[in-house]
A and B are shown apart, each in its own frame.
Chain A
Amino acid sequence: MSIFKRIDDLSSSPRIRKGWFSAALIIFLTLIIIPAVFVLLEAVIEWESVSEVLGDPTMTGMIWGAVSNSFSIALIVTILDIVVGLPMAWILVRRSFRGKRYLDTLIDMPLAFPTAAVGISVVMFWGAPEGVAIPGLGLVMSPYLIVILLHTVFTFPYMVRSLAGILDQIDPSFETAGMTLGASRLTAVRTITLPLFRAGLVTGFILCFARSLSETGGTYIALQMLGVSSSFFTGPTFIKYMKDLPGADPTGALIVVSVIMIVLAVALLLVAKYMMNRLRLPWTKVWPVWERRLSKGLAARSKDILTFVFLFVIVILPSFYIFAYLTAPSGVADLNSLFGAIGISFAIAGIAVVFNIVFGIPMAIYIARNGNTRLGVLLDNLVNIPLIIPTTVLGLSLSMFWGSFNLPAGAAFFLVTLGHISFTYPLVVRNITGAISEVDPSYEEVARTLGAKPFRAFSKVLLPIVQSSVIAGAILAFTRSLGETGATISISKDVVTVPVYIMDLIEQGQYYQGAVAAMILIVICFILMFGVRYLTGRRKQGA
């Protein structure tokens, strides 16, 4: 009897199906959620060292500085993304022009750039730090501003994608109807399309905010290159700094900063969810003359031009600037260690993705099919938690959780993989849940009435329909795992993935080697992302 048939037979028993879902649920809770927030419990266990930190004004000052940097930068970056992302999304969805396909691809490109690589590239472009022979623009900028510019590069594509995704679903005839009633384009967009858009805005907001809050590797590299990594902190780089600090026991400070970040991030998520359901943009007032003036001619054209200038000067050029290193080779890159690091990165990302697909699908099906039950809603919210907690905090929390089990020394690789499983889990599950809830359950029911067992109905009917979302989620998770620094370093110093390797090189002042490693990583991510996109795109056309 083949395995397939075996599973198929087993699947017709409700007990087995329930057991399977329970297994997925237990894995989700014990491997993903509890370790991710364990640090909250640790704060109670280690209350002594925590209260010691709270009583130390220098320490609290540093922590507060780091946290407020993180949140204010994330907020500024996200607002910037929204302001420029909206016209960009409009151009992508509502206009047709030649070369639109290329613009589409160009916007996605920074998504394939690991943030560590972007960190080097952005600082080179804007700052030209010492030791880099390639002239950048040489502007003098504060680290705060550089970090904002850096975070804008890798959050902007997320924002444009989420906005464009929703805009695509909004029937353009609403806007046109408004215009036939005498509204200028700006008025129509503001009073009709934007309010319909709320969900997209909030999703984009959460994605970008969380991404900025979380980012460690690129930020640390940038600060390191600017020579301020021990005086200017964001939440995650503060954690890295404290962990590396020789001598003093950092536990108390690490717990305090982690708890603050988790609490604020979760509060933010809740507020955002609330706004998504309740908020009514109170923008019913209309200024016909002004809005009309802004809708046409010079004002409208300069808005488009500024959008493109932003895309190229703030996002595209700085991310590609790293390739300028190719023009001035210096020294030889140590390819052996690099490929060792690539091997480790791929192993971790691969295991994490496969694990998440296997154990995420039952969860996704449950959430999609039980979205209105209490457990469904609860799980739906819980799945978002690893997404919103900064990965460095998540890694820290996870290592504290498993640290209490006295694992053998060789478990570092295993723990890092668990960490990557955690923060990529929502990316996989979210994508699949979204796709499944779009599928009419009657397809599966029809298959069942025709005599298919549940597993067969799933694998032959549901899976083929949602397969492209599974693949999309998998790619997203894979590239995110490849690019992740924060979770890795906060769990173990011994697991050298590519971004960690790059960061070490930069720390040692070996910019050229770092840049070469970054470029190789970029090229790999590119081939992966566009290769799979090409494959799935072709299959869709063929079908």
Chain B
Amino acid sequence: MKIKLDHVSVKFGDLYAVKDISMTIDKGEYVTILGPSGCGKTTLIKIVSGILRPTEGRVFVDGEDVTDVPIEDRDTGYVFQNIALFPHMTISDNVGYGPRVRDLDSEAVTGTSRQYLELVNMLERAGMMPNEISGGEQQKVAIARALASGSKMLMLDEPLSALDARVRMELRYEIRRLVKKLGITVLHVTHDQEEAMSVSDRMILMRNGGIAETSTPLDMYRRPETIFSAYFVGETNFLECTVVGKTKTGKTTVRLRNDTIVRVAKSKFNVGDPVVISVRPEHVYTASDGLPATVRNVVFMGTYWRIRTLSATDDYIEYNIPADDDIPELGDEVFLVFNKKATLVFARPSEGLEEAIRLE
């Protein structure tokens, strides 16, 4: 099913939880909604599923305006953040609830329930009560329940946030495999950027009730359009500087705060523009010459070392070295160079860098 939101806003009292959002989700697409806590992610999928009615704007499904259609007729599977399995029903009754309230006969109810439990490999738990199975299993049952009512749209509200790291990893691929097999359109809310990147076809990054950026995981990582996206998706170093040179093809040169000149990726800026460059730790290397910096901190991250330095420009700059390599001592002086193709240039925000990346 194709979902379209047209200038949708939701107000709680005087506060906009979602403000003027327009977007389109294609049939069968797996889209994650990413953003800091409180930015309006849950509110957005509640609008799509009809649990909340937008204060302004319209919601379309397959071209049809469903804004005024009540929840029970929306036919949208929804998995709640707290899972919300009915505690007084068995696993199989939980999954059969959708078919049952649509007045299917009891054979069809049992059949559908078994079929979807089978899909999530939970058939052998059918007779148990929700509090007798593990968190990951509960989540699978919740998904089976949402799908068993036959809906072709699925809203997942932070479905994995309460689970152990390993279960979380396994389950996220399992969910994707399942919904792709069934051709279901998915909106998956998360605040975990790694989870968002690894499962989605497309990511919607939200901030403050609005959409900060929409693109594929790879694009959002490689070529974020805003400083906020660069900051929120992956890790990065920001350095304030000024454009000092630009070739006809767009290749740009900037001057850092200590007058070091650095070549960066192509940009649309002109000489004299105040800018911010963003370079991810994996694109920072040490060399025999470059931006001087002092090592301030060394942390082993599990598979690599993260080195934090204070550079001559008075910025903190972080870089990685492989786990097996020798590490510098605290206070050592190193020289940093950036991978110029991966060094992105943004206009320096008028409200200040701090403000531009604030999570709220």
Residues of A at the B interface (CB closer than 8 Å) are 171, 173-174, 176-185, 187, 191-192, 195-196, 284, 286-289, 292, 296
CB < 8 Å: which of A182, A196, A287 contacts B72?
Answer: A182
Cα A176 to Cα B149 with chains together (Å): 14
Determine how close the nearest CB of chain B comes to the CB of A174; give it in whole angstroms: 6
| Known A171-B82, A177-B80; contact A184-B72, beta-carbon cutoff 8 A | yes
| Known A176-B51, A176-B71, A292-B72; contact A182-B84, beta-carbon cutoff 8 A | no
Q: Can you list 6 A-B pairs, Cβ within 8 angstroms, ordered by A?
A: A171-B82, A176-B84, A177-B78, A178-B101, A180-B78, A192-B86
B145 at interface, CB cutoff 8 A: yes
Is B51 a contact of A180 with CB atoms below 8 Å? yes
| Known A176-B51, A196-B88, A292-B72; contact A181-B97, beta-carbon cutoff 8 A | yes
* Interface SS, A side: helix
CB < 8 Å: which of A181, A195, A289 contacts B145?
Answer: A181
Is A180 a contact of B101 with CB atoms below 8 Å? no
B351 at interface, CB cutoff 8 A: no
Known A176-B51, A289-B103; further 17 A-B contacts with Cβ < 8 A: A174-B84, A177-B84, A178-B86, A180-B49, A180-B51, A180-B71, A180-B76, A181-B146, A182-B98, A182-B149, A183-B72, A184-B72, A191-B101, A192-B86, A284-B100, A288-B101, A288-B102
Residues of B at the A interface (CB closer than 8 Å) are 49-51, 70-78, 80, 82, 84, 86-88, 97-98, 100-103, 145-146, 149
Determine how close the nearest CB of chain A comes to the CB of B334; give it in whole angstroms: 48
Which of A181, A184, A284, A288 has the largest count of B CB atoms less than 10 A from its CB? A181
Cα A174 to Cα B97 with chains together (Å): 12
Q: Which residue of B lies closest to A196 (CB)?
A: B88
In order of increasing CB-CB distance, the 4 nearest A-B pairs are: A181-B98, A183-B101, A180-B78, A179-B71
Residues of A within 8 A of B80 (CB): 173, 176-177
Is A183 a contact of B88 with CB atoms below 8 Å? no
Cα A171 to Cα B98 with chains together (Å): 19
Determine how close the nearest CB of chain A comes to the CB of B68; give it in whole angstroms: 12
Cα A180 to Cα B82 with chains together (Å): 15
Determine how close the nearest CB of chain A comes to the CB of B123; give it in whole angstroms: 20
Q: Which residue of A lies closest to B149 (CB)?
A: A181
Determine how close the nearest CB of chain A comes to the CB of B149; give it in whole angstroms: 5
| Known A187-B101, A284-B100; contact A182-B75, beta-carbon cutoff 8 A | yes
CB < 8 Å: which of A173, A183, A288 contacts B84?
Answer: A173
Determine how close the nearest CB of chain B comes to the CB of A400; give it in whole angstroms: 46
Residues of A within 8 A of B102 (CB): 182, 288
| Known A171-B82, A180-B71, A288-B101; contact A196-B87, beta-carbon cutoff 8 A | yes
Q: Which residue of B lies closest to A291 (CB)?
A: B101
Is A180 a contact of B74 with CB atoms below 8 Å? yes
Determine how close the nearest CB of chain A comes to the CB of B78; give it in whole angstroms: 4
Residues of A within 8 A of B82 (CB): 171, 173
Residues of B within 8 A of A192 (CB): 86
Cα A185 to Cα B50 with chains together (Å): 13
Cα A171 to Cα B87 with chains together (Å): 11
Is B100 a contact of A180 with CB atoms below 8 Å? no
Cα A287 to Cα B102 with chains together (Å): 9
Residues of B within 8 A of A191 (CB): 97, 101
Q: Which residue of A lies closest to B155 (CB)?
A: A180
Cα A195 to Cα B86 with chains together (Å): 10
Determine how close the nearest CB of chain B comes to the CB of A275; give it in whole angstroms: 15
Q: Which residue of B lies closest to A284 (CB)?
A: B100
Determine how close the nearest CB of chain B comes to the CB of A230; give it in whole angstroms: 51
Residues of B within 8 A of A177 (CB): 78, 80, 84, 86
Residues of A within 8 A of B77 (CB): 180-181
Q: Which residue of B lies closest to A180 (CB)?
A: B78
Is A180 a contact of B146 with CB atoms below 8 Å? yes
Determine how close the nearest CB of chain B comes to the CB of A204; give it in whole angstroms: 19
Is A171 a contact of B101 with CB atoms below 8 Å? no
Determine how close the nearest CB of chain B comes to the CB of A516; give it in whole angstroms: 47
Residues of B within 8 A of A289 (CB): 103
CB < 8 Å: which of B50, B75, B86, B149 contacts A174?
Answer: B86
Which of A171, A177, A195 has the largest count of B CB atoms less than 10 A from its CB? A177
Cα A185 to Cα B88 with chains together (Å): 18
Cα A291 to Cα B194 with chains together (Å): 44
Residues of A within 8 A of B73 (CB): 182
Is A286 a contact of B101 with CB atoms below 8 Å? yes
Residues of A within 8 A of B97 (CB): 178, 181, 183, 191
Cα A264 to Cα B75 with chains together (Å): 51
Residues of B within 8 A of A181 (CB): 77, 97-98, 101, 145-146, 149
Q: Which residue of A lies closest to B50 (CB)?
A: A180
Cα A182 to Cα B99 with chains together (Å): 8
| Known A171-B82, A176-B71, A196-B88; contact A182-B101, beta-carbon cutoff 8 A | yes
Residues of B within 8 A of A176 (CB): 51, 71, 78, 80, 84
Residues of A within 8 A of B86 (CB): 174, 177-178, 192
Cα A171 to Cα B97 with chains together (Å): 18
Determine how close the nearest CB of chain A comes to the CB of B95; give it in whole angstroms: 10
Determine how close the nearest CB of chain B comes to the CB of A282; give it in whole angstroms: 13
Q: Which residue of A lies closest to B87 (CB)?
A: A196
Cα A286 to Cα B88 with chains together (Å): 17
Which of B51, B71, B78 has the largest count of A CB atoms less than 10 A from its CB? B71
Is B72 a contact of A286 with CB atoms below 8 Å? no
Cα A261 to Cα B316 with chains together (Å): 82
Cα A292 to Cα B49 with chains together (Å): 18
Determine how close the nearest CB of chain A comes to the CB of B199; give it in whole angstroms: 22
Residues of B within 8 A of A185 (CB): 72
Cα A192 to Cα B85 with chains together (Å): 10
Cα A284 to Cα B103 with chains together (Å): 11
| Known A178-B97, A286-B100; contact A171-B146, beta-carbon cutoff 8 A | no
Determine how close the nearest CB of chain B comes to the CB of A25; give it in whole angstroms: 35
Which of B87, B88, B149 has the largest count of A CB atoms less than 10 A from its CB? B88
Determine how close the nearest CB of chain B comes to the CB of A292; give it in whole angstroms: 7
Residues of A within 8 A of B100 (CB): 284, 286
Cα A187 to Cα B101 with chains together (Å): 8
Determine how close the nearest CB of chain B comes to the CB of A196; give it in whole angstroms: 6
Cα A191 to Cα B77 with chains together (Å): 19
Q: Which residue of A lies closest to B79 (CB)?
A: A177
Cα A171 to Cα B82 with chains together (Å): 10
Residues of A within 8 A of B71 (CB): 176, 179-180
Residues of B within 8 A of A296 (CB): 70
Q: Which residue of A lies closest to B81 (CB)?
A: A173
Cα A180 to Cα B73 with chains together (Å): 8
Cα A177 to Cα B46 with chains together (Å): 11
Cα A179 to Cα B71 with chains together (Å): 6
| Known A179-B71, A181-B146; contact A286-B103, beta-carbon cutoff 8 A | yes
Cα A180 to Cα B49 with chains together (Å): 7
Determine how close the nearest CB of chain B comes to the CB of A175; give it in whole angstroms: 9
Cα A484 to Cα B49 with chains together (Å): 54
Residues of A within 8 A of B70 (CB): 179, 296
Determine how close the nearest CB of chain A comes to the CB of B161; give it in whole angstroms: 15
Q: Which residue of B lies closest to A292 (CB)?
A: B72
Residues of B within 8 A of A288 (CB): 101-103
Cα A196 to Cα B87 with chains together (Å): 8
